[in-house]
Structure 1
Amino acid sequence: MKRQNISSGAVWENTIGYSRAVRVGNVVEVAGTTAMDGDQVIGIGDAYQQTRFILQKIEKALQEAGATMQQVVRTRIYVTDISQWEEVGRAHGEFFRDIRPASTMVEVAALINPQHLVEIEATAIVDAAIT
């Protein structure tokens, strides 16, 4: 099966050895994505804004892999403060209300940058569009 690595161009991809997304066959896995834009954190202190920005980044990675948000079957959401679940969930719902992928949200002690409130992973199956 053919493997397609999708890069965001971040310097850490080469240093750590990861891809923003990987497509093998009709499955696309998007790596944990945070609200980083270059070296700037978007939405500092605002879980809703961070979540929206993250989902936009995920959408772009999916498009590069030949997939769409409609083909997402799973999301995994990591938050540093579970009390903000409604704000994170509201943003997630704006993207996925009609798609309704399986989803998990868990609180973690910390993310790689203390200003990150949210990190999201996604899985898409290219032949799994909503009908």
Structure 2
Amino acid sequence: MNKKLISSGSTFEESIGYSRAVVQDNWVFVSGTTGYNYETMSISDDIVEQTEQCLINIKNTLEQADASLSDVVRVTYILPNAKAFESCWPVLKKYFGEVRPAATMFSALLADDKMKIEIQVTALKSQNT
């Protein structure tokens, strides 16, 4: 069994005790990911832009695990405002329309009021990766 921890460098990972992702054999478990742009250390006020940034962050994390969005088998969406979810659908379809992972959405408060969505994924790397 081969286990690899992936860090984004966030201070929260050290303070709380978690990893951005854990790779176990061919499985990749990506922690809940928000719409922060780590290059600018900013977050948009717009939920659609946050959704796009979440998926860019997840894509980058999966690449560090030698995986891709096409390997995603499970996705969980967490939103403080469930009624805002429908506005995210075009972005979700852009990234997952062909992949079609199993999915769940639920509404819950997030760690910071600026955060409008958090996305968590599980991926199973293909044997060709």
TM-score, normalized by length of structure 2?
A: 0.92
Partner of 1:43: 44
Query: Which residues of structure 2 form unaligned runs of 5+?
Result: none
Measured on the aligned residues, the alpha-carbon RMSD in Å equals 1.5
Query: How far does the alpha carbon of each residue in 1:37-73 deviate from its partner, in whole angstroms, 9 at most, with x for none?
Result: 34844221x1111000000000000000010000000
The whole-number CA distance in structure 1 between the counterparts of 2:37 and 2:53 is 9
CA deviation after TM superposition for structure 1 residue 18, in Å: 0.6
Map 1:17-96; keep pairs closer than 5 Å: 17-38=17-38, 40-44=41-45, 46-96=46-96
The whole-number CA distance in structure 2 between the counterparts of 1:97 and 1:13 is 31
The whole-number CA distance in structure 1 between the counterparts of 2:127 and 2:73 is 8
The whole-number CA distance in structure 1 between the counterparts of 2:89 and 2:47 is 10
The reply on whether 1:98 has 2:112 as its aligned counterpart is no
Contact 2:27–2:122 (Cα < 8 Å) also in 1: yes
The whole-number CA distance in structure 2 between the counterparts of 1:98 and 1:37 is 25
Amino acid at match of 1:43: S
| 2:23 alignment partner, SS class | strand
Contact 1:28–1:124 (Cα < 8 Å) also in 2: yes
Contact 1:41–1:116 (Cα < 8 Å) also in 2: no
Contact 1:41–1:115 (Cα < 8 Å) also in 2: no
Amino acid at match of 2:31: A
Map 1:111-126; keep pairs closer than 5 Å: 111-126=110-125
Aligned-pair identity in percent equals 34
